[in-house]
Amino acid sequence: MILISLKFDRAELAFISIIGGFVTPFISSDGNGSFLFVLGYMALLNTAMSAITIHKKWHSLPILSCWLTYIICIAGYISNEFREIYGWGLVAIIYYFILFTISLTVTLNRSQLRLRTVFLNLSAIILNSLAYLSLTTLLAEKTALLSHFDGCAGIIGAAINFGIYLRYYLNKEDGPASNLLIILIAGFSLATILIQFSNPNIYIAGIGLEAAIASWLYSYSGKRIFKIIALIIGLPLSCCLIHSVVFGYDSYDESWGYIVTAIAFTWSAYYNFIRQNREGKCCESILSSGALWAGATIGLSGSHAIFSHFFIGVAADGLTLLLTATAMSVILLTTTNYRMRSTYLLFPGFIATVFALMSHTSEEMPIANLPLLLSIAGFTYVYLICGKDIFIRKLIQLPNISYYTIYFNLATAVYAVSVALNLLDISGLSHLHSAGVSIALTGCAAIEMALGMRYQNKLLRFISLGIFGIVIVKLLVFDLWRMAAIGRIIVFILLGVILLAVSFFYQRLRNVLIDKLPQEDK
């Protein structure tokens, strides 16, 4: 029938012959035949089918053969027909997989396919991949020599798809078949990690490395499919790891996987930055900046788990904050040339939030507070650099500088209050918390007023006046009735001196400032 269909160029005859070929052994069998013969017989039919598909472009043949082949194989495994021939069964399944991968991807790459044919082809490709992965894993478990290498099915599948990609699609433009092969390579690699290994560190590190490699391939080749794969793999991993940290599920046993993943993400981000800067492109893509922030967050989470394992809670939190401040300083110094907006948008609020949540002190062990004190110096340096780059050097052009000015100064005020409270705790003056808050806010407002006058920024002066107003309301409504006498005296004297100084200099310089202000600032 196959020869007749080729002779007369009739696809329907080949279609009927394939169905007849698969049905024949079961019609003629008396129930005592060898399943190994069936596997060999199907290999012969599928070889003929693959050759005809490539030669005659009959798109339905590989789809039909794929479904019939795996239906028979799955039924054979369920009925235990693979007993005593597990090794030959593995060989047969791998051979089927190679034939169907070639014929189905070649068919998918041809133009002028109907939508229904494309859908059926994709369903067959998915079946081919899932059936191959499932059957080879199950058969390997029952084979004595391969019982510990059941995850290697994914490696073989990835290697086969990679070989086909190199042979047929490496130098071609992006197309459905090329993209599908890339997705299958990534999927089989991911399956290998999940099936072969039981160590959570290898899970985390392996998936993180795969996402980083996909990001690097996107930067190297420019193919969007690698970007999609990197996001599909990297985003869920990052969310799961960060969720574990936020809700306290991180542990020392998994921390090394966090560190490897963080290094991989950071490396891919840095490579993307280099290429984008070399080609004169913007460095704010979701892949590069997202990989950087995810890597930094995951790395700090893993570091916190390691610190918590070896040190007491206060020291562990302080070391994590110190490492965070150091990492932020390094990021600022190394990415200045890339003009990353996300750095300046994220850092102020992130510092204020993390420091307020993680800063703790110890009165019993003063030495444990040293990392916290060093982290305060580091975070203060980051704030100074961010403010200098944005407001003085004008390194980054933000769409609405007014909103950022408000955000930056509010974040700075929250951070200053947290620092003041921790310094009071370290000094043994916890009973002066309320006074510390007032002093910190007053100091922030005074500095903002001075800078507003120095750089002729009316918005900054309004923010300063607003914070002064908050302090005054707090003193009158809350502190006047609850604060100790000594605290009340200190705060009121300090507030009075600062307000008098601000009022004096503002009135003294008001006319000069107004004369120099541009028309829109007046």
Rg (CA), the chain: 33
pLDDT of residue 505: 64
| pLDDT higher than 80, residue 64 | yes
pLDDT of residue 515: 45
Cα 422 to Cα 163, 349, 484: the distances in Å are 60, 19, 19
pLDDT of residue 18: 80
Amino acid at position 433, single letter: H
Residue 522 pLDDT class (50, 70, 90 cuts):
very low
What is the separation of C-alpha 478 from the centre of its chain, rounded to a whole number of angstroms? 45
| pLDDT higher than 50, residue 519 | no
pLDDT digits (tens, 9 = 90+) for 311-348: 777 888 888 888 888 888 887 887 666 667 777 777 88
pLDDT of residue 201: 64
Compute the C-alpha angle 212/217/223, nearest 5°: 125
> Whole-angstrom Cα distance, residue 505 to residue 247?
50
pLDDT of residue 146: 60
Task: Tally Cβ neighbours within 10 Å of residue 496.
Answer: 10
What is the separation of C-alpha 205 from the centre of its chain, rounded to a whole number of angstroms? 12
pLDDT digits (tens, 9 = 90+) for 474-514: 777 776 666 667 766 776 776 677 677 667 766 665 654 45
* Residues contacting residue 449 through CB under 8 Å, at least 6 positions apart: 460, 461, 464, 465, 502, 506
Cα 390 to Cα 35, 377, 407: the distances in Å are 74, 20, 13
Name the nearest CA neighbour of 412 among 457, 446, 458, 368. 446
